[in-house]
Amino acid sequence: MASVSKLTEADVQILGFSVTDLRFPTSLDGVGSDAMHVGTNGSHPYVQLKTNHGELTGEGIAFSNGRGSELICMALEIFAKRVVGKTMQELTRNMGRTWRYMVADSKPVWRIVCDMSPEEVVQCIDFRYITDVITPEESIEMLKSTQEGKDARMNEALGNTAVPAYTTSPGWMAFTGDRMKEVLRETIEQGYTVFKFKVGTSVEKDREKLTAVRDVLGYDNGYQIMIDANQVWSVPEAIKYMKQLVEFKPVFIEEPTNPDDVLGHAAIRKALKPYGVGVATGEAAQNRITFKQLLQAEATDVCQIDAVRLGSVNECLAVMLMALKYKIPCVPHNGAMGLTELTSHLSTIDYVAVSGRKSMLENADSHRENLRHPSKIINAHYVTPLAPGYSTGYTDEALEKYTYPNGSFWKSELGQQIMAQPTGGEL
């Protein structure tokens, strides 16, 4: 068998795949809880592509709150069948064509993109439906203009200072009072200066929480906060509710209303702008067209691309370029159990190869012992991943324990209790 280092794209063929319904019992510790999602279990449908070289396996994940993961697994099986029999040469010689075919790498993903020329980056993107906002020719010129300083930004990436991190660890809805303050102080000691908190259950509780937050952080000590409602309000409710929280000086309110309501987000943004509070959204957007409309309508101050909901790096690149044109930062949505690892690539790509603007990336650390390539934070910055691929993959122990519904955890007494619990949506 040829060594991996001597293989060419034409030598590697995808022969088969496996799809695993992987679920983690996050309902036990409240990680991921918010005003909209209570008692859910963080889930990552997990696909592995098998090749004709046993040591080479392609891996990817999707994300849900548990209910409905079986549907995602069915979709993954449908999509995976489309690449069986294909060689890597067929799939990579024109990535834009491959993307259209699907919806139709010996380097880390971020480095593959960052090593591309502007023309090669643009070739990765399907511009159908977005040429009224940005064209391939315009994109090439924009990318050429951000080439200046790229070598220095690459050195920052290699020095682990390209992607500043902020944390949601003290901000989960289930964390209140002394527990919230304890975690907040712990993250301050770790070097964090930007924090996000879940809101939306009641004005009184949120004012109490944010008062406690500002008691710890103060207003003039270099700390920033953001707040996240996870879609819980109508547009009028969001405006009324937020006017009672603006005194705590959040940088933005994230997902204040239904994620498909572009004009609703625009109305909220307009109403909050005089108070110095922005709007962030996009984590539930499933394609570049939604982001196009958010930008056209001046409905967001932050594009929160989601690595798995958008479906590919290609689609994320399209959004990054549109955001660059509108001078709106891309701050990927993040979550634990595997998503953080993907988004560290995306933020690095945006900074080094696309916008040249340093932004920030959420860190939500949970169940990292189950990951084969867990992200790392040093001095409140992401350690840039250097291993080949997209930093995706779960340990054998995690697969044995959390595969749903027959993993050892889900077959245990506690797992069975969780599966039998009401979902919160019963009549």
Catalytic residues: 198, 333
Answer for the pair 134, 325: CB distance below 8 angstroms, yes or no.
yes
- 331 vs 248: CA distance, rounded Å: 22
- Dmax over Cα atoms in the chain, in whole Å? 66
- Give the three-class secondary structure for 19: strand
- Residue 418's CB: how many other CB atoms inside 10 A? 17
- 286 vs 265: CA distance, rounded Å: 17
Answer for the pair 120, 353: CB distance below 8 angstroms, yes or no.
no
User: CA 349 → CA 77, 320, 332, 389, distances in Å?
Assistant: 29, 9, 11, 14
**What's the first-to-final CA gap in the chain, in angstroms?**
60
Nearest residue to 300 via CA among 317, 319, 315: 319
Q: Which element (helix H / strand E) includes 227?
A: strand 224-228
User: CA 292 → CA 298, 303, 310, 323, 328, distances in Å?
Assistant: 10, 10, 13, 9, 12
- 372 vs 375: CA distance, rounded Å: 10
Q: Which element (helix H / strand E) includes 213?
A: helix 203-217
Nearest residue to 285 via CA among 251, 250, 252, 322: 322
Nearest residue to 277 via CA among 227, 204, 330: 227
Residue that the structure tokens 């990951």 belong to: 371
The whole-angstrom distance between residue 212's C-alpha and the CA centroid of its chain comes to 28
- 72 vs 166: CA distance, rounded Å: 29
